[in-house]
């Protein structure tokens, strides 16, 4: 996957999360989850753009670690939305799978970068 394809994929993930959040009920639980999920999902896309502008290998890995954490956090909030009964898990499955795939991509990228520097 190219840098630009991954930029688009992370942006698409954020937009899909936004749309999902718009469809959640308006209650205290949903409000808390939506607030965190919107932040973490948009952070995946925004911080990946920062990764693409890293100034060194160390900077690259550090920024990737942030993206990895935000993707994993997004997965957590999606899981929590399902477990709180805000939306059926079946409807969230594709979004959760994408969060896990993005996390795996960034973990692998960071590890590959670290191996190359040894």
Over residues 2-47, the pLDDT tens digits come to: 999 999 999 999 999 999 999 999 999 999 999 999 999 999 999 9
Tell me the backbone φ, ψ of residue 89, rounded to 5 degrees.
-55, -35
The DSSP output letter for 27 is S
Q: Among 1.20.1440.60, 1.20.140.10, 2.60.40.10, 3.40.50.670, name the CATH number for the domain at 3-116.
A: 1.20.1440.60
State yes or no: pLDDT of 115 exceeds 90: no
State yes or no: pLDDT of 77 exceeds 90: yes
Q: What's the pLDDT at 26?
A: 94
Q: What's the pLDDT at 118?
A: 65
Mean pLDDT of the chain, nearest integer: 96
Helices 3-22, 28-51: inter-axial angle, 10-degree rounding: 170
Max Cα-Cα span within the chain: 51
């Amino acid at each position: 996957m190219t840098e630009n394809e991954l930029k688009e994929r992370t942006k698409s993930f954020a937009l899909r999360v936004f749309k999902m959040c718009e469809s959640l009920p308006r209650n205290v639980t949903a409000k808390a989850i939506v607030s965190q999920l919107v932040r973490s999902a948009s952070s995946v896309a925004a911080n990946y753009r920062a990764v693409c502008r890293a100034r060194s290998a160390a900077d690259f890995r550090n920024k990737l670690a942030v993206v990895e954490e935000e993707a994993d956090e997004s997965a957590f909030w999606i899981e929590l939305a399902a477990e709180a009964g805000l939306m059926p898990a079946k409807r969230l499955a594709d979004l959760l799978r994408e969060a896990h795939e993005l996390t795996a991509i960034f973990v692998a990228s960071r590890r590959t970068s670290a191996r190359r520097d040894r």
